[in-house]
Amino acid sequence: MAVFSLGVIVVVVIIAALFQMEVDYEPLIAEKTVVVQASNVDSFKVVADVPNFDKWINFITKINEMDNSRVGVGKSFEVHVHFPFIGENQYRLDITNYGPPKSLSFDADFELLLPRTIVEIKDGDMLGVSKITWRMYSKRRSYLFCGTVLPISRFIMTKQLQGALFRLKLQISHSL
């Protein structure tokens, strides 16, 4: 019985240590790039239209503006999402960088991941073509998170992002 108790104590101490120790960077959850037949300005208009994210991001069901201010740094949204097996939840999304027509960043208070999303729009290889790169990082940096939750989240969010960027590409082409 004492050996079992000692084993449990060792496991708890290791888990506690992994929870306290952190990597010195924000771990990448997902990154994808899509090339669209549109200018940076036209691409940015659709990417920065946060109230319409639900048209091309599957798990978002509704988005409400938290105030009547113009879209820019500090603008907040209430995002309703539906996750399989979890159900409907609400999160706050805050724009942290707004640089038309090249960049948009926002943070969400989704407690499990604490995601920070960075979107960059660059000129494509031809005139009238844009390259949109969407990166999602986590502000959670513990070794425990990086070894358990991050790999599963990376798999799920990479697949979700791939589909979302395909629908974003369609959304941009329909908006022209």
Are the beta carbons of 64 and 76 closer than 8 angstroms? no
* pLDDT at residue 7, rounded to an integer: 73
Mean pLDDT of 117-145: 95
pLDDT in tens, 47-70: 999 999 999 999 999 999 999 999
What per-residue confidence (pLDDT) applies to 176? Answer: 77
Question: What is the C-alpha to C-alpha distance for residues 16 and 110, in angstroms, rounded to an integer?
Answer: 22
C-alpha radius of gyration, the chain, whole number: 19
Q: In what helix (H) or strand (E) does residue 68 lie, and over which residues does it extend?
A: none
Q: SS in 3 state form for 99-160?
A: ECCCEEEEEECCCCCCEEEEEEEEECCCCCCEEEEEEEEECCCEHHHHHCHHHHHHHHHHHH
Grouping H, G, I as helix, E, B as strand and the rest as coil, residue 93 is strand
105 is written with which tokens?
A: 């960043």
pTM of the model: 0.88
The predicted structure's pLDDT at residue 3: 66
How far apart, in whole angstroms, are the C-alpha atoms of residue 4 and residue 12?
Answer: 12
Strand partners, 92: 78
Work out the number of other CB atoms within 10 angstroms of the CB of residue 15: 12
Residue 170 is encoded by which pair of tokens?
């369609």
pLDDT of residue 174: 87
